[in-house]
Structure formats: structure tokens, C-alpha cells
Chains A and B, each alone.
Chain A
Amino acid sequence: MNAPVNSGGNSGMRGLRGGKQRYSILSLARNALSHHENWQRAWRSPEPKPAYDVVIVGAGGHGLATAYYLASRHGIRNIAVIDKGWLGGGNTGRNTTIIRSNYLWDESAAIYEHSMKLWEGLSQELNFNTMFSQRGVLTLAHSEHERREMTRRVEAIRLNGIDSDVLNPAQIKQIVPIIDTDPRLRYPVMGGFIQRRGGTARHDAVAWGYARAADDMGVDIIQNCAVTGFLIDNGVVKGVETEKGAIRAGKVACVVAGHAGVVADMAGFRLPITSRPLQALVSEPIKPILDVVIMSNAVHMYVSQSDKGEMVLGAGADSYNGYTQRGSLTVPEGMLAAAVELFPVFSRLQMLRSWGGIVDTCPDASPVISKTPVSNLYFNCGWGTGGFKATPGSGHVFADLIARDAPNKIAVPFTLDRFSGGYLIDEHGAAGVAH
């Protein structure tokens, strides 16, 4: 793996430095005395100014993180983050919140581990509890081939200095007593591996924490304001057209996930991305029975238990393109069949909600963090089924790209040129559908 890129700025430059009240046990006690009616607003809802240094399109986790790191690491604070809906209402609020950095290839290991290190200090940095829980992510193998391939992947991961351990079925049973390790199952548990530093975080808290900290440094977050086009003059972007009128900008950065292709089309170029609905479900809350994240690529199932007690289950993506934010019923049906076989205790669980998010998948299952054919217009997309875990790292390197107009060491493999140059980062094995 490349040497880690300096995470930039001195520590005194981070976190809340504007006028925001800090959250603490004392502020909690103080506000309890006034029946919690006097909490300061976490962010403003300003009207857009006519011009900004940087306009970020998309107020999901990645877009808000980009604004935060531009402000805190690069001193660029005249920023607007614009969203057609509410902040964190797209894939940030629709994923299964799994965080890990156990990827096969060096390029992926570098960016996801960069992200993991930022996660490890994020709640303190943002003064916002992201409920980051390093409970471990355990990936199952259901065939001899998969078990051997997993062993190879673990060795590659460890060579990059990232923690991972191979487990046998008895060790898995010890960590997860409710799993059925009967070798007569249709897809028996033949082994697995665990990244103990992996885990989950509260998805909304991540968006809210970044939004509050960015707002504190003067970033304008403008919700319910769809971008309808770009102002482009001689191949240089000059701003965006929105439902609230034109907003001029020195630089424009788009982080719109499933709609990346639609937005790129407005700017007049193409992206190697297909958009499909990926589904997830949550059950009724039950007592704690699972304190680790379980993933299985072979049977397309992943599950963790939220702090509220709900089982959070992720299914696969539809095979065909779509923007419906629903997806086919057959996909969760297949996933639930696999989940019940592995965890017989789930058979009487009632599912409370299911939903779909539109994932933007690249041919090599790796993201695009890149300059574009239009000068001063940047795109960060293609995270497909696994963008949540990358939120801090993605925002951090994207802010660096925008500020310096050049990708840093971590981002450079993920430029758009890789498709014509042939330097694909084929992560279908580690990305799969299971995130």
C-alpha cells in the first residue's frame, strides 16, 4: 500500500471552531433543566448566495464530508452544498451501515483504510456521536473454493497492514452462537474471516455530524433545491442552474450517487456507470442476539443488529437498470431464505420496513474520483453497493482533488482515464453485493 497521505492541516484546525455550542455531558444536563427546548439548531437553512468558491451538488454523507474537509483542511469556506431533497435522504439513509477495509487490491485497501482511520476519530473530531461501533465484520465461506480464495484475500489484506483473520466453523460458532454450522446445509458454513476493526455506524448521525460541523465553518447547506443544469463557458464550468435560480461557482463538485449519469448528461459527458436499486430490510426489534456483522457473498446476505435491536438485513441489487428506489420482491425473498437457513431463529421475525437505494456501479466495482472533460467540474461517484464505509475517506480525498485540481496518491488510481488506459481495479470479489 502507498504511504498514507497526510490527512492535512494541524489538529487545531479540526472540528467545531465557529460559534456552535459543543455537545457534552454538561450541555446535556443544562438542557435537561430547560426540558430540552433550547437546543441550538444544528445547521441553518440559508437562501443561496449568488456565487460561491465551490458548489457541491449532493448533500449526502460524501458531499457533506467533502464540504467539511474543504473547510477544515484547505481553508475554503465559501461553499454551498445543494440537494434536491433533504440532507442524507439518498443512499446515506438507505444503506446497511457496514464499515470495513478488507479489500483485495492495494488501491482499494489504501482508500478504504484511509477512511477507516478517519472513522476511528470521527465522533471526537465532529463533536457528534456517530455511534461508530467496531464490533467486527465476519465474512462467511460456503465452498472449498471460496474458503481458499478467502485465505488468499486475507494474506493480501494483511500485507497492506490491515487486520484480518481466517476462522474455522468452530471459531465462527463461538463468536456467533445463533448461526447454524450443520455441514448438511445447502450452503454450509465452511469457514470465514473477520476484520475486528470493522463494524457499523449510525448513518444519519454521519450526515448530521458533517452537516453541523460544515455549517459551523460557514458552509451553506441548501436543501430542496434541485440542480437543473450547468453554466459552462468554453469548456469551463461557471456555476449551476437550480430551482432557486443560477448560482455561480469557481468550482463545481458532484457527488450524487445513483443519479451521477443523469447529472453528467446535463454537463455533456458520459460516465461508465449503471444505476440499479439495491434493497435492505429491518425487522422488529428484539433482545441482543448478534454482536458482529455477518456477510455472505455466496448466498447474498448480510446482517447486523442495530442498537435499537432491529435486525438490519441487506439484499442484492436488481439485475436491470432502474431508478425506482424499490426493486423486485424476488431479491429480498432470496436473501431471507438464505438468512433463515443460516439463522433458524430468524424464521419468526417480522420485517418492519424495506426500501431501495439507487446504486451507481462501475464495470470494475470501484469508484470514480476524478476531474472531468469540463474544467473545474469534478465527479465522485461509482461507489456502487459500498459507499457508506468510504464516507470520510471519499470526502477527504475529494476535497483534496478540488482544492489542488489534482488527485493525491490515494485518489489517482480512481480517475476516469482508467477505462481507456486499461488500469481497472477489479473489486467484484471484495465488493460483490454484500456491503
Chain B
Amino acid sequence: MLLIDCPWCGPRDDEEFHYGGEAHVLRPRDAGALSDEAFADYLFMQQNPKGPHLERWSHSHGCRRWFNMLRNTATNEILEIYPMGEKPKTEAGQAAYAENWRRESPAEKNALSGGEA
């Protein structure tokens, strides 16, 4: 069980929240240009680390706003909470962001080909 510090409502029980999976997954702009393997990577290969994980949450039974969170999946320690559309600011968060294979993936390059999403 987690005690999540909603940026707008303060600390609340995780029952009030909805988990939104891996954060910073960009939808390809031109999916038809991707190979089947590259699209399967985008769609199915979620990050599943034992350690710091960047993920999205929504305070679905509260203010209903989305935010990003860095959580250690081995200990459930919440390391950072930051707004949607921004990148993590802690060292652990920046490392988790940079080390994600998606940064070099055809799907993300495709998504960014029309500028920062």
C-alpha cells in the first residue's frame, strides 16, 4: 500500500489513485512507417525494472489530475513526483529516463520527427 502525495490534494491512500503504466511513452506520429517489430516494441515492451521506475498516476477518486512519479519497485519508496509533460529532476529519475531503451527506439524517433511531443 502506498501513501501518494498528490501535487494538488496532498498525501492520500493509493486506493484513490489509478495507475497509468510507464511514463514518457510517445505515440508514433506515422505508425505505418514503423516495422512490425518496432511497433510491437512500442506497444508491448513495457519497462519492468526491479528498481526506479518512471510511471504515470491519476488521482481518479480525488482531483482527477494526472502526474508522473518515480517509484522504486523493489521497495515501493516514492522518490519523486513531477507534473505531466516534464522530465524528472532527481538524479535517479534522470538516470531512469536516459537508460530507457525507448530513447533510441524507432518509435520514439518517429514520434519526435515532427518536433517535441
Tell me the chain A residues, 364-384 only, with Cβ under 8 Å from chain B.
none
- Evaluate whether A328 and B40 lie within 8 angstroms (CB atoms) in the complex, with A271-B45, A321-B48 already known: no
- Complex contact B44–A319 (CB within 8 A): no
Tell me the chain B residues, 64-117 only, with Cβ under 8 Å from chain A.
71, 73-76, 101
- B-side contacts of A422, CB under 8 Å: 36
* A272 interface contact, C-beta 8 A: yes
- Complex contact B36–A272 (CB within 8 A): no
Residue in A274, A319, A330, A419 whose beta carbon sits within 8 Å of that of B48 in the complex:
A274
Q: A-facing mask of B1-15, CB < 8 A → 1, else 0?
A: 110000000000011
For A259, A265, A321, A324, which residue has the most chain B Cβ atoms within 10 angstroms?
A321
Residue in B18, B36, B45 whose beta carbon sits within 8 Å of that of A270 in the complex:
B45
* A339 interface contact, C-beta 8 A: no
Residue in B1, B18, B74 whose beta carbon sits within 8 Å of that of A323 in the complex:
B74
Cα(A330)–Cα(B71), bound, Å: 19
B59 to chain A, nearest CB (A): 14
* A329 interface contact, C-beta 8 A: yes
Q: Is the interface of B mostly helix, strand, loop or mixed?
A: mixed
Q: Which A residue's beta carbon lies closest to that of B44?
A: A272
Q: Which A residue's beta carbon lies closest to that of B74?
A: A323
* A296 interface contact, C-beta 8 A: no
Q: Is the interface of A mostly helix, strand, loop or mixed?
A: loop
Residue in A259, A274, A420 whose beta carbon sits within 8 Å of that of B46 in the complex:
A274
- A-side contacts of B48, CB under 8 Å: 261-262, 271, 273-275, 321
Residue in A259, A273, A420 whose beta carbon sits within 8 Å of that of B40 in the complex:
A420
- A-side contacts of B55, CB under 8 Å: 320-321
Residue in B18, B19, B37, B49 whose beta carbon sits within 8 Å of that of A420 in the complex:
B37
Cα(A329)–Cα(B53), bound, Å: 22
Cα(A319)–Cα(B21), bound, Å: 9
- Complex contact A420–B36 (CB within 8 A): yes
* A218 interface contact, C-beta 8 A: no
- A-side contacts of B61, CB under 8 Å: none
- B-side contacts of A421, CB under 8 Å: 36
- Evaluate whether A320 and B36 lie within 8 angstroms (CB atoms) in the complex, with A270-B45, A363-B44 already known: no
Residue in A273, A323, A363 whose beta carbon sits within 8 Å of that of B50 in the complex:
A323
- Complex contact A272–B45 (CB within 8 A): yes
Cα(A275)–Cα(B14), bound, Å: 18
* A322 interface contact, C-beta 8 A: yes
Residue in A261, A271, A272, A329 whose beta carbon sits within 8 Å of that of B1 in the complex:
A329
Cα(A421)–Cα(B36), bound, Å: 7
Q: Which B residue's beta carbon lies closest to that of A363?
A: B44
Tell me the chain B residues, 10-65 only, with Cβ under 8 Å from chain A.
14-15, 18-19, 36-37, 39-41, 43-46, 48-50, 53, 55
- Complex contact A330–B40 (CB within 8 A): no
Q: B-facing mask of A60-81, CB < 8 A → 1, else 0?
A: 0000000000000000000000
Q: B-facing mask of A2-32, CB < 8 A → 1, else 0?
A: 0000000000000000000000000000000
- Complex contact B1–A330 (CB within 8 A): yes
Tell me the chain A residues, 179-217 only, with Cβ under 8 Å from chain B.
none
Tell me the chain A residues, 397-435 only, with Cβ under 8 Å from chain B.
419-422
Q: Which B residue's beta carbon lies closest to that of A320?
A: B19
Q: Which A residue's beta carbon lies closest to that of B35?
A: A420
Tell me the chain A residues, 337-380 only, with Cβ under 8 Å from chain B.
363
5 contacts between A and B (CB under 8 A): A259-B50, A273-B46, A330-B14, A330-B15, A422-B36
Top 9 closest pairs, chain A to chain B, by CB: A272-B44, A420-B40, A261-B48, A320-B19, A328-B1, A420-B36, A319-B19, A419-B40, A270-B45
**B interface, CB within 8 angstroms of A:** 1-2, 14-15, 18-19, 36-37, 39-41, 43-46, 48-50, 53, 55, 71, 73-76, 101
| Additional A-B contact list (9), CB under 8 Å, known A265-B49, A275-B48, A422-B36 | A262-B49, A270-B41, A272-B46, A320-B55, A320-B71, A321-B73, A323-B50, A328-B14, A330-B14
